[in-house]
Amino acid sequence: MHEAVFYVAALWMTGLLVVSVGLVIRARSSLSRILALDMLILILIALLVLLSDANRVSYYLDAALVLALLSFVATIGAARYHGEGKLFS
């Protein structure tokens, strides 16, 4: 019964993922698009955490950690390149 809660939550999170893909496509500016991509990766991390809980394995959380690292570096790089024209000042 407890696994069912995790699976239903993962299904709902997949719906949120689809909605945020729509937000990335329909964003009004480039920075809004970068922000929506950042949020999409946060939702993906949440989905991996829920799957890790439902299956009782810890390997999904390694992938979630790598996704968090990559999304941080990608957001910083894209936003700095967009705002200042260069990555390192």
On whether the CB atoms of residues 25 and 32 are closer than 8 A, the answer is no
Phi-psi region of 46 (alpha: psi -120 to 50; beta: other; left: phi over 0): alpha
On whether the CB atoms of residues 49 and 41 are closer than 8 A, the answer is no
2 forms part of the interface with other proteins (CB under 8 A): yes
- Residue linked to tokens 């990555």: 87
21 forms part of the interface with other proteins (CB under 8 A): no
19 forms part of the interface with other proteins (CB under 8 A): yes
Binding-site member from 14, 70, 83, 87 for other proteins (CB under 8 A): 83
To other proteins, the closest distance from the beta carbon of 23 in angstroms equals 6
Chain centroid offset of residue 15 CA: 13
On whether the CB atoms of residues 32 and 78 are closer than 8 A, the answer is no
Residues that bind other proteins (CB under 8 A): 2, 5-6, 9, 12-13, 16, 19-20, 23, 29, 31-32, 34-36, 38-39, 42-43, 45-46, 49-50, 52-53, 56, 58, 61-62, 64-65, 68-69, 71-72, 75-76, 79-80, 82-84
